Structure formats: C-alpha cells, structure tokens
Structure 1
Amino acid sequence: MKHNQTLKLLISICFLLVTIYGCTKLDSKVYNQTTTFWNTPEQVEAGLAPAYISLRGFANGDIFSLQEVTSDEIIVPTRGSDWYDNGQWQQLWLHTWTSNLGFMNGAWEFIYSGIARINLIKYTVSNLKPIPAGLDTTKVFAELNTLRAFYYYQALDLFGNVPVVTDFNADPASLKNRPRAEVFAFIEHELKTSLPYLNRTVDKSSYGKVTKWFGFALLAKLYLNAQVYTGAPRWNECMVACDSIINANIYGLSNNFFDNFVIENEKSPENIFVIPYDAKRGLNGFNIQMFTLHYQSNETYGLGASPYNGFCSPADFYNLFDSQDKRRDMFLVGQQYDRSGNPLRDKQVNLPLIFDPNIEVISSTDPKFRLVGARSRKYEFTPDTPGDMSNDFVVVRLGDIILIKAEAALRNGAAGDAIATLNRSYGGLQGGGASLRSRAGLAPFAALTLDDMLKERAREMAWEGCRRTDLIRFGKYLDARKPAKQVSGAFRTLFPIPKAQRDKNPSLVQNPGYAE
C-alpha cells in the first residue's frame, strides 16, 4: 500500500524495531528506553508497527512453500543442477521431508518470533504508567490478540500440537506442546473476545491493519477446518462468521478478478487483509515473479534482474481451468515474446522459449526441461526492480469468504444455499458487484458436489497459500500424483516439530510418525 499512514511512522520508531528484533527477553534497560516513546495514543499506534512488519516474511516465504509445494498446485522441478538445493524442494513435493528440513524451522521461527514481538508490545503497553490520556487499551489488546491469533492459526494448521505463549517473559526452554484441540480453543477464544473491540472502519487508515472483518475471516477459516483440527465440524458457526462479513455490505467482488493482484491493488473492493509491499519505499520481501519466471523473462516484462526459473504448476492443475475461464490467464504457457513482440529463445540451450505445463519427471538434465511448467502471473509483475514487487500480498479477500460459506453450506446439507452463495453478485460500499462465475466468464452452477467445490477453490484461490489446507480437508492431500509422488502416510497431514526447536527445548514432543 502506498498511502498507509502507519508506514510513514516507521522511521520514527526504528529504535523500537532494533530493540524488539535484538532481544528475546525483556529487561529493565529496554523497558526504560521504550517508555520514553509510548506517551500518546499516536505513539502507541506507531509502536504497534513491528507486529505488522514481521508479517512481511509471509508472502512466498517458508509457510507459503509448505502450503503450496507440498500440494498439487506448485512444483519446483530440478532443472539440471538448478533448484536441487540438497533435494529440499523434491522432499516437499514427494512428501519425504524430515524434521531437519529448513522450511520447518523457518516457518516455526516466523510464527513464534511474530508472537514474541506481539507479546513484547502487549507487555510494554500493560506496564505504561500512566496510561496515555485517550488511549483505549482494550482496543489495542484486541488488535494485537487478533494478529497473534493469525500466527497461532498458522501453527495450528501446520504443526498441530504446539506451545501457546502469551507471556513475553516465559522461559522458551520450558514451553510444552498443547494438544491441537486446545490450541484451536485458545484461538477461538482470542478471536471471539476481541471481535467486539476491533475497528470496523475500512479506509486508508485501517488498510493493512487488523479490523473486525479480518477477525471474522480468521474465525471462518478456523471453523471451516474445525473437523480436521478437533474432530468435530462447526459448519453453522462458519457460515455465521462469513455472513458477518457479507451482510455488512462493505466489501464487493471486483468486476475484474485480476484487479485484486495488480501493483496498485489497494483499490480493490474485495481485499479484506493484505500485507503491504512497496519496492520503491523499501518495503521488500514479496518477489514471487522471480521464483516463477524463466531466466530470460526479464526481456518480456522489463524486470531489473534475471528471474530464477523455479516455481510452476503442473499440467494436472493447469487443466482444472476451462479454456473459457478468464482466471486461466493467471498462467503463462506457450511461446514467450520480448517487449517488441519478437519470439524469445532460451539462449543457453538455443530452444524456443515455450512454456509447456507437462512435467513427466521431477528432475532432468534435458535442455527442454528448463521450459516445463505453467508459470504464474496472478500478481502483476513489477518492472524495473531487482526483483521485489510492489503489489500488496492478499491474505484474505471476499472471494475466499464466499467459497468458505458455500462449502460450509454444502457440507451441512444445504446444497441449494451453497449454489446460491456461489452464483449471486456481491457489491459493497467499497465497490464491486460481480459474481465469482460471471467475472470468470462462466455459467452459474446448476448443481454442486464436493468435487466441484474443491475444483472451484483451486481455480479461484491458486497461488494464494491455502491449497494444502484445502486438500487435507477434502481428503486428497495424501494422494499419489504426477510426477513421481506416491501415496503418503497419514501422519504427513502434520509437519514435524523442527529438530532445531527440540534441540533447544527437549520438552517439545515430536508429532506422531516422525522419528527425530
């Protein structure tokens, strides 16, 4: 986001960032430094910024890789020696990972460092004496607790049985796993008790920040997966949470699907919560264009550096899109051209630069293998940068909420309501007015099965970081698939507690099925 007023305050709180990023335990010296800053409601609001800054590692980070590359949606083939990386990408696709794999520890560190920063800010605000005049600490804590619930939702989904830490001064070496159902209950309680105090305003001042609608969206996602997380479905509660967003008539479906992902996507009427990025202002960390495009795609899109030729979608996923589905344009296939319209060739192997979605093996030295896989352009590419993009990364949008409500209704025995939810148009105070199917150029649903529902989620939500969770919920995650993946053991629906974390804290118990 280019107009978010909170971001303008970041320079003024650099000392706070250094303090938070450099400390794992709060001491009196740090506290005395920070209290000289927290004197007004405006300063406290600025002091919340580190809780949001830590989110910038979310877009195409370790959690994204765990969610997508372990699913049928994204594969990272080994092209010659490129992208082998000690076999780590193959382990994700093939479901042969161990607790030593770096993605596991990276995701864990992302989650718990974010939680620690929020706990530190809560501790600091709790100990302000006096409380700044005009500051409503109840609202401050509701905002922080909801953001912390987002981190815990990631931990619940990926690792299941995890520690719950609410005290910044807790000894990290003493933390113990909590059963998955208890973690679910903790998140549910945090969200439900925070919702009455969350900001309901949607404008520039709340952009990229926690609002009431983000809280309801998290609750809807939690309830959608309740049967996986706890063994008991919560379809009615899921629909109620979705309706709390839909019936507020604030958000609408963008008439153009891709408007949600353009460089200036803060104008989208659909996006409920985003992580702001801006390459020109140094808000970096989102660079999916570099991961998916071919080494020479900079000649097509005017990029400031050569991409890495990694992430792509295989043919089975690409073919879920009907040829008339406008959303299929999120993929690059076929002959590629330079900015003048001349056909490109892969200069290193002297082959036409033609993207072929068919991937028959996971690794090959064949020169043609450099060109396999459908490449994603769902997010508009940002030119003239070394790789970082200025699109804000979409965490939750109305399209997802509509799909969640429809699935909950379908699973609850109300197929007619599910069909109506998917087929109707959605306009709101922010604009919009399309239906999911009309903006895709497709006819409305006349009938609906769970298989239809999963396919529609694939088409609408591709490359948005939720495919693994969807496949688990639909019982498809463990299936064999091309290329090379065999049926996985049931324990693979949870990732292992990272070995690096268990080495530091022997109290952590490994998830079933993993030896380390």
Structure 2
Amino acid sequence: MKPLKTYIGTALLLTIGASSCNNDLTEKIYSEVTEDTYNYSNAYQAMSIAYANMRNLISHTHWYMAQESTADGIVMPANASGWDDGGIYKRMHLHTWNSENPQINSMWNTFYSGVINANRVIDQLQNDKITVPAGITREALISEMRTVRAFFYWMLCDNFGDVPLITTRSEGLPGKTGRKEIYQFVVKELTESIPALSEERNTLMYGRFNKWAAKTLLANVYLNASVYAGETRWEECLAQCNEVIASGKYRLETSLSAPFVTENQNSAEIVFAIPFEENLAGGFSAHMFSWHAALKAKVNMLATPWGAGSAKGIPQFIDTYDADDQRLKATWMTGPQFAADGITPLKGSYDQAGKDVVLTNALPDGLYTGEAEGYRMNKFEVKVQAQGSLGNDFPVFRYAQVLMMKAECLLRTGKANDAAMVVSQVRARAFAEPAKATVTGADLQEGSTYHYGYVENYKVVDPGNTAAVQYGRMLDELGWEFAWEGFRRRDMIRFGVYTTKSWLSHKPNGDFRAVFPIPQIAINSNPELKQNPDYN
C-alpha cells in the first residue's frame, strides 16, 4: 500500500456518498453532529480530500490530455474503432474547442473543487475543528493547505487566465480577478507558506507538499511569469531551483524508466507525485486510451484497451529525436507487437484485420488514421496483468524538471554555456556515448529541429509560419525529456509557438487560444462571470 492511499480512498468514498441522490428533497436528520460541531481526529484524512481532487486531472477528458493533445507532440484522432466522440478530441488538436468541451468543464470543476476543499480545511484548522498530530504545528498544516490551494490556482491561472478568486467559505458568486493578480496571489501564498512546511522527504510526506515540492511549484510559476503577468522572473525561478538542488533530497535516476514504473513511490527523482493505486485510488488510464486492444496480450492485461486506441505521437515530433536517444523507445511503443511470449504476433481487428500489428510513425492527418498508425505510450510501465487503472504514481514534478528549469533560466539570462552543462547532465542517461549526450551553449541558442507545417495525406503541404523559434533547441530538449507528462502546452506557450505554428492538421487559430474559455455551464450559473475575450 502506498502512502496516503488509504486516506485518499476513504475521502473518495465519503465524497461519493455525499453526492448520491434519490431526488427526495425532504430533509432527513440522522444525526445532530454537524460540520461545525464535528472534530476530525485524523488531520491527514481531513486534508486528503483536497489532494484527492488531483487524481481527476490525469485523464483523456481532463487536464492531462488538454495539455498534450492541444500541443505538437500527441494527437487523438478517430479510427475505425471509434474515438470521434462528437469531435471532442479533434477540436483540441485543431484549436477549435468551445466552452462546452468536456475537457474544459472537467478542469474548471476539479480546480475549483480543490480550491473549495482547501478553503474548508484551512477554516477548520484555524477554528480548531481538526486535531493536530503531536510534533506538528497547526501553522504547518495550514501552510500545506494554502500550498495545495495555490497549486489549484496556478492551474486556473495557467489554463483560464482571469478567474474568480475565492479564499473563504463564502457562498457568494464572485466575478473574475485578473490573471496577473491571480499570479501575484499564488506567489504570495507560496512565499508565506514555504517557511513552515516540512523539509522531510519520507513516507509521511509522500504525495504531499513539503518545502521542496512547494519551491518547485513556485519555480514553475516564476518560469511562466512572462505569460501570466507580462514580466520575467528568471532569477527568482533560478533561486528556487538552486535551493531544491542544494537540499540534497533528490537526484536523477540512472535509469530512464525508474520514475515511471508501477512501484515508483521510492524514486529519488520524484519531487511531487499524485498517488494512484489500481483498486483503491484509480483513474490513471493512459494505456487504455493509447494502446490498441490487441496489446492486452502483450502483458496479459486483465482489462482490454479501448478499441484501436487513440492517443499517439505526431510524426513531426517523433522525427525530431536523435536515433541514438534512448528516450525514443523508452517513451514510445514502436514497430511489430507481440504477445507476452515475445513470439506470437498480435493481430489487427479493423482496417488491418488479421494482419500483424506494426505501429508506424506515419499519420495521414490528425483527424482519422489507421488502427496501427502512430507510436503509442510507452513511458509509464504497464505491469503484467494490469487493470484498467494503473498503480503508477504520476510525477507532477521531478528532479529532471528542476534541472531543466535551471538550464532555461541560465540560457535566458545570457549564461548559455552554464545552461548547456545542466542540459547535458539530464541527457547523459539517454545516450550510450557521452559525446552524444553533450550539448553546447551554441546548440541551445539554435532554432527548433521540429519541421512545422500542415499535413495532408502524410506530407507537409503548407509550412505555415517558418520563423525561427528563439531558443528552439531548448524547447526540443524539453519535449524529448517530458513527453507524456503534461508539460507541452505550457512550454509551447512560453516559447511563443503554441498559437503561431502549424503541425499535422492544426493551423493557428488565434492568440486567444492560449487560454481556454470559461465553461458555459459556469457562466450560466454565475451572472458575475464574463467569458474570456474572443470566445463570444
């Protein structure tokens, strides 16, 4: 059993029970104990509900694929097995989503559920409704919940821009607060909370914000300050990264796969993770929406992946990898596929019915593909007899990202050679030859190797915007290291290519697409909310 999962599972059951309904609105009083009179004897169980909200994020109809499938690395096209679903996936690729796309509504609801739950726990802690364990201060627990709330507001700021700022348990209907002010609130909350957070990296703090995870969160906020607030904070980001590095609590794993195996909770590289457990805390199902159903036999799965799968690599991105980069095979499933015996070829069921499943790096476009076209997810281990939910914890932040944030800050402040040393450190485990792992400051100042352009029938027919990407090689490095980890949309926006370049079936569709629209259902229920610009 992984840490916090008992608490998370209990909290989830409590949430499900509270949300059930039989349409009988007659009030039934079963107990005189109310929220105001009940005291939690287990602080961690009380706090876990705010963390439990994070598990919802890692889904194909939620934050996870909204970050990846709207970017230039992964696409979710339809195929003969289905996967059109009313166009909800292709709209993300085409940047034609609207305020009723389920991914957008899911993000909004989960982010604010996290905020509301954190506000409630903060209030309960401040009013002595939660018993504080011996050896821990109430201030530390309040600071931890303020950090969790800041995490959700970072997500809101990043994905929606101007949003309501709610810091109490008030039931009012607030209007929107400007994106810059939300950014400033997050920075203030983290800056004030970090000193009281635990410095321990142990079982008790796993899946929770300790000081170093909070500093990594703050570094991420500073890294994107130019997007959120129109101001650069490279030095501030660098300072937070250096403190995490100096703590000595984390290190790069020698194995590329170590942070992504099923039992990855002991990885020295993971700074902050969302814990999953296949039975008690499920929801992480990347294999189910990426793998072809025939791949069930590859590891004798107990569940069957959905149809021919959908989420797959965009060939233009795959083509940027160095052939000797071991991250290519560690991240992407490629080529002929076999059963668990390693001998029996797996067979197709649709346009390749009866033929061997051979995953190819070729897509005619981003809208409809053959059942075996496109490389699939191989980053997260799918264990033998895996179920529909994986037990791998999802690494939101890992030490490699701390190093790469440091490198980017150095690069952007004129210290390209120093940046190259850090990037080379991250690359070292991906190349058998040390010389291949080494990059120079001049390399990082080059443009991207990505051949952007609009694709029809497997070929680029319109290159679109061909302007060089400033520090494009650094953007490439981020892509190779963090594919399938939910970084790509944010990185592309920061590097100025998310709304300006073409890839696969995507063409630029307006700079306003750098944020998502407020869900229509939220606007309908709150007259104080106004839609984001240009979405009307």
Report the Cα distance in structure 2 between the residues aligned to 1:292 and 1:506, rounded to whole angstroms.
39
Structure 2: which 5+ residue stretches go unaligned?
A: 22-30, 446-470
Matches within 5 A, 1:71-86: 71-80=71-80, 82-86=82-86
**What's 2:289 paired with?**
291
Where relative contact order (Cα < 8 A, 6+ residues apart) is larger, the structure is: 1
**What's 1:343 paired with?**
345
**What's 2:108 paired with?**
108
Report the Cα distance in structure 1 between the residues aligned to 2:91 and 2:340, rounded to whole angstroms.
37
TM-score normalised to structure 2 length: 0.87
Q: In structure 1, give the amino acid aligned to 2:522.
A: Q
Q: Does 1:497 align with 2:518?
A: yes
**What's 2:259 paired with?**
260
Structure 1: which 5+ residue stretches go unaligned?
A: 24-28, 425-434
Report the Cα distance in structure 1 between the residues aligned to 2:267 and 2:14, rounded to whole angstroms.
32
Retained in 2: the 8 A contact 1:31–1:124? no
Report the Cα distance in structure 2 between the residues aligned to 1:284 and 1:112, rounded to whole angstroms.
21
SS of structure 1 residue aligned to 2:493 = helix
SS of structure 1 residue aligned to 2:397 = strand
**What's 1:431 paired with?**
none
Number of residue pairs matched by the alignment = 490
Report the Cα distance in structure 1 between the residues aligned to 2:8 and 2:515, rounded to whole angstroms.
37
**What's 2:456 paired with?**
none
SS of structure 1 residue aligned to 2:89 = helix
**What's 2:93 paired with?**
93
Q: Does 1:363 align with 2:363?
A: no
Q: Does 1:475 align with 2:496?
A: yes
Report the Cα distance in structure 2 between the residues aligned to 1:296 and 1:89, rounded to whole angstroms.
22
Measured against aligned partners, the alpha-carbon deviations of 1:325-348 in whole angstroms (never above 9, x if no partner) come to 111111112111112212222144
Query: How far does residue 51 in structure 1 lie from its aligned partner after superposition?
Result: 1.4
Deviates more, 1:176-185 or 1:122-131: 122-131
Matches within 5 A, 1:62-461: 62-80=62-80, 82-128=82-128, 134=134, 136-171=137-172, 174-279=173-278, 281-308=279-306, 309-329=309-329, 330-340=331-341, 341-348=343-350, 349-364=353-368, 369-424=370-425, 435-441=426-432, 442-447=436-441, 448-449=444-445, 450-461=471-482
Retained in 2: the 8 A contact 1:423–1:444? yes
Retained in 2: the 8 A contact 1:255–1:439? no
Q: In structure 1, give the amino acid aligned to 2:233.
A: R
Query: How far does residue 422 in structure 1 lie from its aligned partner after superposition?
Result: 2.1
Measured against aligned partners, the alpha-carbon deviations of 1:234-287 in whole angstroms (never above 9, x if no partner) come to 0000100100101111100000011110011112110001111111x4211111
Where is the helix percentage greater, Structure 1 or Structure 2?
1
Q: In structure 1, give the amino acid aligned to 2:296.
A: N
Q: In structure 2, give the amino acid aligned to 1:327.
A: R
Report the Cα distance in structure 2 between the residues aligned to 1:13 and 1:251, rounded to whole angstroms.
30
Report the Cα distance in structure 2 between the residues aligned to 1:407 and 1:137, rounded to whole angstroms.
37
Relative distance call for 1:133 and 1:413 in structure 2 (3 A) is closer
Query: How far does residue 292 in structure 1 lie from its aligned partner after superposition?
Result: 0.7
Measured against aligned partners, the alpha-carbon deviations of 1:468-503 in whole angstroms (never above 9, x if no partner) come to 000011111124434321122111111111111000
Report the Cα distance in structure 2 between the residues aligned to 1:350 and 1:96, rounded to whole angstroms.
36
Report the Cα distance in structure 2 between the residues aligned to 1:112 and 1:266, rounded to whole angstroms.
27
TM-score normalised to structure 1 length: 0.90
**What's 2:450 paired with?**
none
Q: Does 1:466 align with 2:475?
A: no
Measured against aligned partners, the alpha-carbon deviations of 1:379-400 in whole angstroms (never above 9, x if no partner) come to 0003324311011111100001
Relative distance call for 1:405 and 1:300 in structure 2 (3 A) is same
SS of structure 2 residue aligned to 1:150 = helix
Relative distance call for 1:15 and 1:305 in structure 2 (3 A) is closer
Query: How far does residue 370 in structure 1 lie from its aligned partner after superposition?
Result: 1.1
Relative distance call for 1:175 and 1:130 in structure 2 (3 A) is closer
Instruction: State the superposition RMSD in angstroms.
Output: 2.3
Q: In structure 2, give the amino acid aligned to 1:342.
A: T
Query: How far does residue 73 in structure 1 lie from its aligned partner after superposition?
Result: 1.3
Relative distance call for 1:91 and 1:166 in structure 2 (3 A) is same
Report the Cα distance in structure 1 between the residues aligned to 2:191 and 2:214, rounded to whole angstroms.
8
**What's 1:428 paired with?**
none
Measured against aligned partners, the alpha-carbon deviations of 1:189-239 in whole angstroms (never above 9, x if no partner) come to 000000000111001111111100111001100011001111110000010
Query: How far does residue 22 in structure 1 lie from its aligned partner after superposition?
Result: 7.4
Measured against aligned partners, the alpha-carbon deviations of 1:382-421 in whole angstroms (never above 9, x if no partner) come to 3324311011111100001111111011111111221122
Match of residue 507, structure 1, among 493, 518, 528: 528
Relative distance call for 1:385 and 1:333 in structure 2 (3 A) is closer
Retained in 2: the 8 A contact 1:360–1:482? no
Query: How far does residue 129 in structure 1 lie from its aligned partner after superposition?
Result: 6.4
